[in-house]
Structure 1
Amino acid sequence: MSKQNIFKKNDLYIYDLSPLIINSLKLVNFDSNLNEVELPDAQNEANEPEQLSQETKLKEISNSLTCNTCDLEFNDQKIKREHYRTDFHIFNVKRKVNGLDPLSEINYSNLTDLNDDFKKDEAMDTIDEVGKTTDENSSSEEEPIGSDTDMYAETLSTLDINIKNETQKLEDEILEQAVTVSHLNTRSAQIYFNSDILTGAREAFGAYKTLFNEKELEIPLDTVKAWNDGDSQSTAISALFMVSGGHFAGAIVSHQKLNVKRNSKNTEETIQEQAVSFLEKKTFHRYTTRRKQGGSQSANDNAKGKANSAGSTLRRYNEFALREDIQNLLKEWNPYLQKCQNIFIRANSVFDKKTFMDSDYISKEDDRIKTFPFPTNKPALHELKKAWCELVYLKVSEKPKPSETKIKLTDNSSALKNNDNNSQKTEIKLEEQQTKEALSLLKKGRAPLLIAFLRKNKLNANFILEPKNRYENTPTLLHFASQQGFKQMVGILSTTLKADLSIKNKFGKTPYELAKNNSIKQAFQIARFNLGESYTSWQDTKIGGALSREQVDEMNKEEETIKNEELRNAIEEELQKQKEKRDKELEEKRGVGCTLGNNEVDFSVKQNLNLNSLNEDQRKRLMREQRARAAEARIKAMQNK
């Protein structure tokens, strides 16, 4: 059997893993660059007689009994560690760092003895000026001592500072690496576990971080083993809630799976979804959003003001009714909520979130409240099962790839980069910057800020937008506002800021001629009425006749009335057509019919009756009656003869 067939998806339920999978799991740790780092087992660290340094914790412990620096061999690891603490080893390390050959233990011992003798002779008070109290033998003996000790002192003095710096730098790097090495360094929503039963080189089991609380997240592997220890999860439960667009779905799910060995595989649900055990479940819907419009009524009210239509009132009422229904359900399920290990909530809007957080049964500070770390569809019971299966089953995922190390810029390259940025900044003209800021205020409809900006920079409303080749069609603010359909800003620019209405663009068009709808043209006509006929040559502006705001409102009302009347007539005409069509279909279905009485039966009419609507017994009775009447007619005809 290949390794691919060792386990199935049903075996990856995180609360009921097989011993084969549990024993194969190894937590994956990453450094800051997402390189995988192997840490020693905790058991080996506990058995170590002495506390390991940060460096030995990060690197694999060597079993060699030799010191490559001093070229020595030892009998056991304890003697080797004691050697690493000696001055002899430290001295050779300093020499090796600076490119010097290490000294043997005998040469080092002679060197230290000579240095001690030199220090003793230097401390004697009997030494006078050079050459007075020394004889030829002593002077001949001091020469080699002086040369050796000078070499030793010079070596220590020149190397000590460098070695301190290098040692400190190495310790800082090791400490930094130790701090950043963690299984939580990835930006993924999952924790990764290596396993021997996986075939891929970069494959690992992934478990969602949201399943663990803050303490469990520090020791995820031990937590998973605890979940699978005995009956720890037999009575554990979690809560699932989804609300969106007026749809709500909630359930209390047990961590104990159902037995689905004999279930059919041809249903709409997967085997994993069939095994989900819902202790409680509830769904309901309220009309809170306009079809194909998106967004709740409360969000629309906050953005555009409170609407007064019948539909908005109904949607607004249903939002509060939905909130009350959810809070009543939380009250009913409060005994379950108190025992839940996790409470997963999907509520995108602020109003929906407050529905849960403002209740007396769920607190904002509760660390059990979590969100689904993946997108979900419309709230429904099937979607709750699907989301729960996505959460609690291990995923065979690919481990994150190491990030590329960023190369630090040298002083020259950084200086060049700064020069390039400065040159780019200086190339931007002041007029272009002013154009950008003015258009930004214009698009946002910030009329007071736009007026203040123009006055501060000593600009009028007719200043030409830069760069000119980009704004050939809309060279002024009024052209731009007219083309983009900013009705309010057209009135302010023309009436308040007295913008020139006759300026033409490259193609010979005034701002009025760039208007794309009737409402913008009416804004220009209102400006003409407010400014008066003597303000400018209105013929050059191409603006139509002056209209007051009242006239415009009256015209718009008349147009709206006409449109509504036309729409009403069209609806009535369509309804009439539909009614006539239904009546015609009903008449065809009923047939021609006949008159009841003692008159002679028209059998040709009877033959045209539609018998499809009669059942078998009714059809037999009708046939008997027809035969009886036919017999009566024959008898009557014979009597008349």
Structure 2
Amino acid sequence: MSRSFTPARYPLLQKPLYVYTLPSDLLDILSVRSVQAAVTPEPESKTNKHSDAKPTFTSFDGASGSLGCQTCLNVTFPTLDEQRAHFKSDWHRYNAKLVLLGKGGTVTEEEFEEINDDSDASDSNPEAAGSSTEDRVTRLLRRQKLTSAGAQDGEDKDSDQEAEEAEYRRRAELRTAILWFQAKDAGNQDTGTKLVPDDTQLGIYRALIPRMISFSQPAAFLPALRAMQLPPAPARSAEFDPMEERKVTLLMVAGGHFAGMVVSLRPLNVTQSKGMKPERQEVKGAGEVRVLKHKTFHRYTTRKKQGGSQSLNDNAKSKANSAGAMLRRYGEQSLKEEIQQLMIEWEDEIHSSEKIFLRASTASKRSFWGYPGAVLEKGDERISVFPFPTRRPTLSELLRCWHELTRVKVTHLSEEAIQALDEAYIASLQPKTRPVPTAPTPAIKPIKESAPKLSAEEEAHRERRRRLIDMVRKGRIEPLLPFWQKYGASLGGVDAKAESWVDDGRGQTLLMIASQAGQEDVVKWLLEEQRADPTIVFASETSRDIPDAGEEVDGQPGKNRGRTAYDLATTKDVRNIFRRLAHDHPDWYNWIAAGHVPSGLSEEKEQEQDKKRAERRKGLKEKAKEREAKKAAELPQTPEPEMPLETIPPPTSKVLKGPQKLGGGKPGSDTGLAGLTPEMRARIERERRARAAEARLAGLGK
């Protein structure tokens, strides 16, 4: 967990720490706090005979530029090819595995040859030789483990597990972008003051460490950090040699924007002391950063909100010939030429820079190397990428990145918190065991019952049933009569219900289908000539348990339980057919109780109903006439003077614009009576009311 402290007690932490100007007192109390350094060495009983040899580390000289190997006792190489060949040799691989396994020191090349000769002599025995395909270095390490540990299988498994964990720790150390150092200050015995609080960690970016430092040996980090420190600032009266100034170059290019800057590691003196003037800073907002060179420019290379350069679009698709595409191609070429020209102008500063931080895409890197006369080379060990996300290339962004790179990260974590972070990070690097996929149990598909194949007779029967129902529903009485005479008996009779395979009308008789469709002629034919039963109850799929109409349920007659053909009738004329037959032939069926017919309808009663209906209509007409006459009587009766034609005012000569309708305007408005006398208006109004009354009376007479 993080611990709180009072910054006033520690003046060293009151302002940001600069990587290249760390106090010597602070460097003396630092130790590497890395995942790789946390590997505990094995006891002496498990080390080989060369475990007494301790690795030595030399401080890094930034100006030397020599090629070497920190693992194999600091050997050096004159060329890069020899160094690469050394890294592939068995001697280097043997020493690297010793370091990873925590065996202590490494061996020289002569000692490795002696060990190798002894191993070859013992491997002449087929039983001790092992597999012929086994790696030479692995076989040598296995043999040393067997001789030192008594050839116990349990120890082999422990060693393999330790080697695997060490490999994870090495991977964790190589993947982290920040190197952490632990600062433990015992304090001044006289004053009892400390430079930093207890459990203080300092972090710097790994990209600042020279690449020739072997990252497999964490002990080399602290000497490299000491070697990076600037010498004490010279006196103001002394002249400073610009050739000895240490520099770093920062370059960015993206989206047609370029920003470059050469920075001196010697900070600028911006504080004004007594009798001294502060150094002048030409770059606004740079603060203490001594900017030696800077340049920014922009060319149109990317279409707005589309992303990607024009060259990438041309390679992915066909070459566009639009004006915008041509401008973007010209902008790319101009940007490339300007960058190359700037690199030539900055050639001296770039060659003398310790580090070169570059942000560029794969296509944009061709502006920096890969052409004749290029200042930079692709394999230059000084080139590094920015170890954090960056924004659009501008001078302010370069200054922000420089502050982020060179300011020391300070944390205050307890040992338990650090251990938990290390274990969680190492666990994240270990391969996750995926569960063995089990074969999914195939879902049991329900067996669909295939429809039985029908015979020719059954097919013909179903076709006739569908044709019969269709003719009944549509009221086609003429083709129905001969069809029924021919196939009626084979179709089950007039009271047979439609089968379950019928699409529409299943469970209904022909009388129900005709009554529901409102076909009067078919209903009358079925009831009178075919004597269809009107008391059969229709039981739908949702009411299968409805009893018959004549059956009693709980002591009550069941006439209302279920729907008969009369209940399914949709028109009054169809229902009257049932009522007439109920009156004329009451002995045929139980029309009222079982057939749900309310009452019989005789011819006299039907004529009486028609007479009452006609009288009612006649009374309504008379009432309407009286009402209209009463309204007309209420109007003022004024004589209508005869107006000669000469007195009619001539129409005005004003031309009306727009389409004109008969009636003089909207219905109900008096715009058509404009210009008339009151007597003429009253006459026209009476005529309107009379026509409206006649129209209403004509409607009642229909």
- Normalised-by-shorter TM-score class: 0.3 to 0.5
TM-score (norm 2): 0.38
Higher helix share: 1
* Structure of higher CA gyration radius: 2
